[in-house]
Structure 1
Protein backbone atom coordinates (compact mmCIF):
# COMPACT_ATOMS: atom_id res chain seq x y z
CA UNK A 1 0.00 0.00 0.00
CA UNK A 2 1.38 3.42 -0.95
CA UNK A 3 1.27 5.81 1.98
CA UNK A 4 3.24 8.41 3.81
CA UNK A 5 4.78 7.63 7.20
CA UNK A 6 2.61 10.35 8.76
CA UNK A 7 -0.56 8.55 7.68
CA UNK A 8 0.12 5.80 10.23
CA UNK A 9 -0.70 6.62 13.84
CA UNK A 10 0.58 4.45 16.70
CA UNK A 11 -1.58 4.37 19.81
CA UNK A 12 -2.55 2.29 22.81
CA UNK A 13 -5.63 0.18 22.21
CA UNK A 14 -8.46 -0.52 24.62
CA UNK A 15 -9.81 -3.91 25.68
CA UNK A 16 -12.89 -3.14 23.56
CA UNK A 17 -10.63 -3.30 20.50
CA UNK A 18 -9.46 -6.84 21.37
CA UNK A 19 -11.73 -8.54 18.78
CA UNK A 20 -10.25 -6.40 16.01
CA UNK A 21 -6.71 -7.14 17.24
CA UNK A 22 -7.39 -10.88 17.47
CA UNK A 23 -8.88 -10.86 13.98
CA UNK A 24 -5.77 -9.18 12.51
CA UNK A 25 -3.38 -11.58 14.27
CA UNK A 26 -5.37 -14.58 13.02
CA UNK A 27 -5.51 -13.19 9.46
CA UNK A 28 -1.75 -12.66 9.43
CA UNK A 29 -1.17 -16.14 10.85
CA UNK A 30 -3.36 -17.66 8.12
CA UNK A 31 -1.19 -16.02 5.46
CA UNK A 32 2.19 -17.05 6.89
CA UNK A 33 3.55 -19.90 4.78
CA UNK A 34 5.71 -21.39 7.55
CA UNK A 35 3.43 -21.53 10.60
CA UNK A 36 6.39 -22.23 12.92
CA UNK A 37 7.53 -18.63 12.38
CA UNK A 38 4.48 -17.21 14.12
CA UNK A 39 3.33 -18.95 17.30
CA UNK A 40 -0.40 -18.46 17.70
CA UNK A 41 -2.02 -20.82 20.15
CA UNK A 42 -5.33 -22.21 18.97
CA UNK A 43 -6.46 -22.87 22.56
CA UNK A 44 -7.82 -19.39 23.13
CA UNK A 45 -4.48 -17.80 24.03
CA UNK A 46 -5.13 -14.65 22.00
CA UNK A 47 -8.55 -14.09 23.50
CA UNK A 48 -7.25 -14.69 27.02
CA UNK A 49 -4.14 -12.54 26.71
CA UNK A 50 -5.90 -9.64 24.96
CA UNK A 51 -8.46 -9.40 27.76
CA UNK A 52 -5.97 -9.81 30.63
CA UNK A 53 -5.36 -6.73 32.78
CA UNK A 54 -1.61 -7.42 32.63
CA UNK A 55 -1.55 -7.14 28.85
CA UNK A 56 -1.02 -3.90 26.97
CA UNK A 57 -2.19 -3.52 23.39
CA UNK A 58 -0.87 -1.14 20.75
CA UNK A 59 -2.07 -0.59 17.22
CA UNK A 60 -0.82 1.10 14.09
CA UNK A 61 -3.75 2.71 12.30
CA UNK A 62 -4.08 4.08 8.80
CA UNK A 63 -7.22 6.14 9.24
CA UNK A 64 -9.64 3.75 10.94
CA UNK A 65 -7.96 0.63 9.55
CA UNK A 66 -5.82 -1.45 11.90
CA UNK A 67 -2.55 -2.02 10.02
CA UNK A 68 -0.46 -3.72 12.71
CA UNK A 69 -0.61 -4.72 16.37
CA UNK A 70 1.73 -5.23 19.30
CA UNK A 71 0.69 -7.33 22.28
CA UNK A 72 2.83 -6.76 25.39
CA UNK A 73 2.50 -9.08 28.37
CA UNK A 74 3.50 -7.88 31.84
CA UNK A 75 4.06 -11.22 33.55
CA UNK A 76 3.00 -11.46 37.14
CA UNK A 77 3.71 -15.12 37.82
CA UNK A 78 4.56 -16.97 34.60
CA UNK A 79 7.93 -15.48 33.71
CA UNK A 80 8.94 -18.21 31.30
CA UNK A 81 11.89 -16.31 29.81
CA UNK A 82 13.53 -15.48 33.18
CA UNK A 83 16.40 -17.89 32.52
CA UNK A 84 17.82 -15.36 30.08
CA UNK A 85 17.41 -12.23 32.21
CA UNK A 86 20.63 -10.54 33.34
CA UNK A 87 18.96 -10.19 36.76
CA UNK A 88 15.96 -12.38 37.62
CA UNK A 89 14.47 -9.58 39.74
CA UNK A 90 14.21 -7.10 36.85
CA UNK A 91 10.70 -5.90 36.08
CA UNK A 92 10.24 -7.35 32.59
CA UNK A 93 7.75 -7.03 29.76
CA UNK A 94 7.36 -9.56 26.96
CA UNK A 95 6.89 -8.07 23.53
CA UNK A 96 4.71 -11.08 22.87
CA UNK A 97 3.14 -10.73 19.43
CA UNK A 98 3.60 -8.32 16.55
CA UNK A 99 1.42 -8.80 13.49
CA UNK A 100 1.53 -6.57 10.42
CA UNK A 101 -1.13 -6.75 7.73
CA UNK A 102 0.41 -7.75 4.38
CA UNK A 103 -1.04 -4.53 2.92
CA UNK A 104 1.19 -2.49 5.24
CA UNK A 105 4.48 -4.40 5.22
CA UNK A 106 7.62 -2.45 4.40
CA UNK A 107 6.74 0.57 6.53
CA UNK A 108 8.73 -0.46 9.63
CA UNK A 109 5.54 -0.88 11.66
CA UNK A 110 7.07 -3.60 13.84
CA UNK A 111 9.84 -1.20 14.85
CA UNK A 112 7.48 1.74 15.26
CA UNK A 113 5.11 -0.23 17.49
CA UNK A 114 7.87 -1.64 19.68
CA UNK A 115 9.55 1.77 20.01
CA UNK A 116 6.23 3.47 20.61
CA UNK A 117 5.49 1.22 23.59
CA UNK A 118 8.80 1.86 25.34
CA UNK A 119 8.05 5.23 27.00
CA UNK A 120 4.87 3.91 28.63
CA UNK A 121 6.58 0.71 29.74
CA UNK A 122 9.37 2.78 31.31
CA UNK A 123 6.74 4.87 33.16
CA UNK A 124 5.23 1.64 34.49
CA UNK A 125 8.58 0.67 36.01
CA UNK A 126 9.63 -1.87 33.40
CA UNK A 127 13.42 -2.14 33.18
CA UNK A 128 13.82 -4.90 30.63
CA UNK A 129 12.11 -6.09 27.45
CA UNK A 130 12.20 -9.58 26.00
CA UNK A 131 10.87 -11.21 22.88
CA UNK A 132 11.39 -14.27 20.74
CA UNK A 133 11.69 -14.75 16.99
CA UNK A 134 12.11 -17.74 14.70
CA UNK A 135 15.82 -17.93 13.74
CA UNK A 136 15.00 -17.89 10.01
CA UNK A 137 12.73 -14.83 10.24
CA UNK A 138 15.49 -12.43 9.25
CA UNK A 139 13.04 -9.55 8.74
CA UNK A 140 11.78 -9.51 12.32
CA UNK A 141 15.16 -10.52 13.71
CA UNK A 142 16.85 -7.55 12.02
CA UNK A 143 14.03 -5.17 12.99
CA UNK A 144 14.37 -6.18 16.63
CA UNK A 145 18.18 -5.95 16.67
CA UNK A 146 17.93 -2.48 15.09
CA UNK A 147 15.97 -1.43 18.19
CA UNK A 148 18.90 -2.36 20.44
CA UNK A 149 17.89 -5.87 21.49
CA UNK A 150 20.67 -8.40 22.07
CA UNK A 151 20.39 -12.06 21.16
CA UNK A 152 20.54 -14.03 24.40
CA UNK A 153 19.92 -17.65 23.41
CA UNK A 154 18.57 -19.99 20.77
CA UNK A 155 16.09 -22.43 22.30
CA UNK A 156 13.00 -24.54 21.60
CA UNK A 157 9.70 -22.99 22.73
CA UNK A 158 6.01 -23.08 21.83
CA UNK A 159 5.73 -26.79 21.23
CA UNK A 160 9.33 -27.37 20.19
CA UNK A 161 9.75 -24.58 17.64
CA UNK A 162 13.19 -22.96 17.43
CA UNK A 163 13.35 -19.43 18.78
CA UNK A 164 15.96 -16.77 19.38
CA UNK A 165 15.41 -15.03 22.73
CA UNK A 166 16.25 -11.32 22.59
CA UNK A 167 16.44 -8.78 25.38
CA UNK A 168 16.89 -5.07 25.89
CA UNK A 169 17.48 -2.94 28.95
CA UNK A 170 15.33 0.21 28.98
Structure 2
Protein backbone atom coordinates (compact mmCIF):
# COMPACT_ATOMS: atom_id res chain seq x y z
CA UNK A 1 0.00 0.00 0.00
CA UNK A 2 1.00 3.65 -0.34
CA UNK A 3 1.27 4.07 3.43
CA UNK A 4 3.59 1.06 3.77
CA UNK A 5 5.75 2.24 0.87
CA UNK A 6 6.07 5.76 2.23
CA UNK A 7 6.83 4.58 5.77
CA UNK A 8 9.77 2.58 4.40
CA UNK A 9 11.13 5.43 2.27
CA UNK A 10 12.64 8.87 2.84
CA UNK A 11 10.15 11.29 1.36
CA UNK A 12 11.67 14.38 -0.27
CA UNK A 13 8.43 16.11 -1.30
CA UNK A 14 4.78 15.37 -1.93
CA UNK A 15 2.00 16.89 -4.00
CA UNK A 16 -1.76 16.50 -3.96
CA UNK A 17 -3.53 17.25 -7.25
CA UNK A 18 -7.30 16.99 -6.96
CA UNK A 19 -9.00 18.47 -9.99
CA UNK A 20 -12.48 17.72 -11.22
CA UNK A 21 -15.44 19.21 -13.03
CA UNK A 22 -17.97 20.64 -10.56
CA UNK A 23 -20.59 20.74 -13.30
CA UNK A 24 -20.30 16.95 -13.61
CA UNK A 25 -20.16 16.01 -9.92
CA UNK A 26 -22.28 18.75 -8.30
CA UNK A 27 -24.54 20.22 -11.00
CA UNK A 28 -26.89 22.94 -9.73
CA UNK A 29 -26.09 22.18 -6.09
CA UNK A 30 -26.26 25.70 -4.68
CA UNK A 31 -25.60 24.56 -1.09
CA UNK A 32 -22.00 23.72 -1.95
CA UNK A 33 -21.33 27.36 -2.89
CA UNK A 34 -23.07 28.82 0.19
CA UNK A 35 -21.16 29.95 3.30
CA UNK A 36 -19.96 26.78 5.02
CA UNK A 37 -20.52 24.73 1.86
CA UNK A 38 -16.76 24.13 1.43
CA UNK A 39 -16.68 24.73 -2.33
CA UNK A 40 -13.67 22.99 -3.86
CA UNK A 41 -12.75 21.69 -0.40
CA UNK A 42 -15.73 19.30 -0.61
CA UNK A 43 -13.69 16.96 -2.84
CA UNK A 44 -10.48 18.34 -1.34
CA UNK A 45 -11.31 16.84 2.03
CA UNK A 46 -11.34 13.43 0.32
CA UNK A 47 -7.77 14.08 -0.82
CA UNK A 48 -6.80 15.21 2.67
CA UNK A 49 -8.34 12.07 4.19
CA UNK A 50 -5.96 9.97 2.11
CA UNK A 51 -2.97 12.30 2.53
CA UNK A 52 -3.25 12.47 6.33
CA UNK A 53 -3.37 8.67 6.39
CA UNK A 54 -0.26 8.07 4.26
CA UNK A 55 1.94 11.15 4.87
CA UNK A 56 3.60 12.41 8.06
CA UNK A 57 1.59 14.90 10.13
CA UNK A 58 1.61 18.30 8.43
CA UNK A 59 0.50 21.88 8.95
CA UNK A 60 -0.45 24.66 6.55
CA UNK A 61 2.13 27.36 5.84
CA UNK A 62 0.16 29.25 3.18
CA UNK A 63 -2.99 29.06 1.09
CA UNK A 64 -4.54 30.95 -1.80
CA UNK A 65 -8.27 30.44 -2.36
CA UNK A 66 -10.04 31.58 -5.53
CA UNK A 67 -13.63 32.66 -4.91
CA UNK A 68 -15.89 33.34 -7.89
CA UNK A 69 -17.21 36.88 -7.53
CA UNK A 70 -20.76 35.54 -7.21
CA UNK A 71 -20.06 32.68 -4.76
CA UNK A 72 -19.26 32.39 -1.05
CA UNK A 73 -17.01 29.31 -1.41
CA UNK A 74 -13.85 28.76 -3.46
CA UNK A 75 -13.66 27.17 -6.90
CA UNK A 76 -9.89 26.55 -6.65
CA UNK A 77 -7.17 26.55 -4.01
CA UNK A 78 -3.42 26.16 -3.71
CA UNK A 79 -2.24 25.12 -0.26
CA UNK A 80 1.31 24.65 0.98
CA UNK A 81 2.09 22.43 3.95
CA UNK A 82 5.19 21.45 5.92
CA UNK A 83 5.59 18.34 8.00
CA UNK A 84 7.22 18.49 11.43
CA UNK A 85 10.49 17.35 9.84
CA UNK A 86 10.32 20.01 7.10
CA UNK A 87 8.95 17.97 4.20
CA UNK A 88 7.20 20.24 1.67
CA UNK A 89 3.71 19.20 0.58
CA UNK A 90 1.60 21.12 -1.94
CA UNK A 91 -2.07 20.74 -2.72
CA UNK A 92 -3.77 22.01 -5.87
CA UNK A 93 -7.56 21.89 -5.95
CA UNK A 94 -9.49 22.94 -9.03
CA UNK A 95 -13.18 22.51 -9.76
CA UNK A 96 -13.05 23.70 -13.34
CA UNK A 97 -11.12 20.78 -14.88
CA UNK A 98 -12.92 19.22 -17.81
CA UNK A 99 -12.05 15.95 -19.53
CA UNK A 100 -10.24 13.35 -17.44
CA UNK A 101 -10.46 14.05 -13.72
CA UNK A 102 -7.31 14.15 -11.56
CA UNK A 103 -7.35 12.62 -8.09
CA UNK A 104 -3.63 12.08 -7.48
CA UNK A 105 -1.11 12.12 -4.65
CA UNK A 106 2.54 12.08 -5.69
CA UNK A 107 5.66 11.62 -3.59
CA UNK A 108 9.31 11.91 -4.54
CA UNK A 109 11.28 9.46 -2.37
CA UNK A 110 14.68 7.83 -2.15
CA UNK A 111 13.00 4.60 -3.32
CA UNK A 112 11.34 6.11 -6.38
CA UNK A 113 8.48 8.28 -7.50
CA UNK A 114 5.16 7.20 -6.02
CA UNK A 115 1.87 8.06 -7.72
CA UNK A 116 -1.39 7.21 -6.00
CA UNK A 117 -4.06 7.96 -8.60
CA UNK A 118 -7.74 7.44 -9.24
CA UNK A 119 -8.64 8.70 -5.78
CA UNK A 120 -6.47 6.02 -4.17
CA UNK A 121 -7.40 3.10 -6.42
CA UNK A 122 -4.08 2.78 -8.29
CA UNK A 123 -0.55 2.80 -6.84
CA UNK A 124 2.51 3.07 -9.07
CA UNK A 125 6.19 3.32 -8.18
CA UNK A 126 8.49 4.69 -10.89
CA UNK A 127 5.70 4.10 -13.41
CA UNK A 128 5.18 0.43 -12.48
CA UNK A 129 1.69 -0.35 -11.19
CA UNK A 130 2.02 -2.05 -7.80
CA UNK A 131 -1.65 -2.18 -6.87
CA UNK A 132 -4.88 -1.43 -8.71
CA UNK A 133 -8.49 -1.99 -7.81
CA UNK A 134 -11.82 -0.65 -9.04
CA UNK A 135 -12.81 2.69 -7.55
CA UNK A 136 -14.99 1.87 -4.55
CA UNK A 137 -14.84 4.94 -2.31
CA UNK A 138 -18.52 5.18 -1.42
CA UNK A 139 -19.29 1.43 -1.15
CA UNK A 140 -16.30 1.08 1.21
CA UNK A 141 -17.41 4.13 3.19
CA UNK A 142 -20.96 2.79 3.60
CA UNK A 143 -19.60 -0.62 4.60
CA UNK A 144 -17.43 1.06 7.26
CA UNK A 145 -20.41 3.10 8.51
CA UNK A 146 -22.41 -0.13 8.94
CA UNK A 147 -19.52 -1.74 10.86
CA UNK A 148 -19.09 1.11 13.32
CA UNK A 149 -22.84 1.55 13.84
CA UNK A 150 -23.16 -2.18 14.62
CA UNK A 151 -20.18 -1.99 16.97
CA UNK A 152 -21.45 1.22 18.61
CA UNK A 153 -18.10 2.95 18.17
CA UNK A 154 -16.84 6.12 16.57
CA UNK A 155 -14.15 6.40 13.92
CA UNK A 156 -13.27 10.03 13.30
CA UNK A 157 -10.15 11.64 11.83
CA UNK A 158 -10.41 15.38 12.41
CA UNK A 159 -7.10 16.23 10.68
CA UNK A 160 -8.62 16.72 7.18
CA UNK A 161 -11.33 19.03 8.54
CA UNK A 162 -8.72 20.95 10.57
CA UNK A 163 -6.68 21.51 7.41
CA UNK A 164 -9.76 22.83 5.58
CA UNK A 165 -10.56 25.18 8.47
CA UNK A 166 -6.94 26.38 8.55
CA UNK A 167 -6.98 27.04 4.80
CA UNK A 168 -10.09 29.19 5.18
CA UNK A 169 -8.64 31.04 8.19
CA UNK A 170 -5.10 31.54 6.90
CA UNK A 171 -5.65 31.66 3.15
CA UNK A 172 -5.39 34.68 0.91
CA UNK A 173 -8.72 35.31 -0.80
CA UNK A 174 -8.66 36.02 -4.53
CA UNK A 175 -11.84 37.07 -6.31
CA UNK A 176 -12.08 35.48 -9.75
CA UNK A 177 -14.55 35.40 -12.63
CA UNK A 178 -18.17 34.59 -11.73
CA UNK A 179 -19.24 30.94 -11.86
CA UNK A 180 -22.51 29.78 -13.42
CA UNK A 181 -23.67 26.18 -13.82
TM-score between the two structures when normalised by the length of structure 1: 0.30
TM-score between the two structures when normalised by the length of structure 2: 0.29
- Structure with greater helix share of residues: 1
Q: Greater relative contact order: 1 or 2 (C-alpha under 8 angstroms, separation 6 or more)? A: 2
Larger radius of gyration: 2
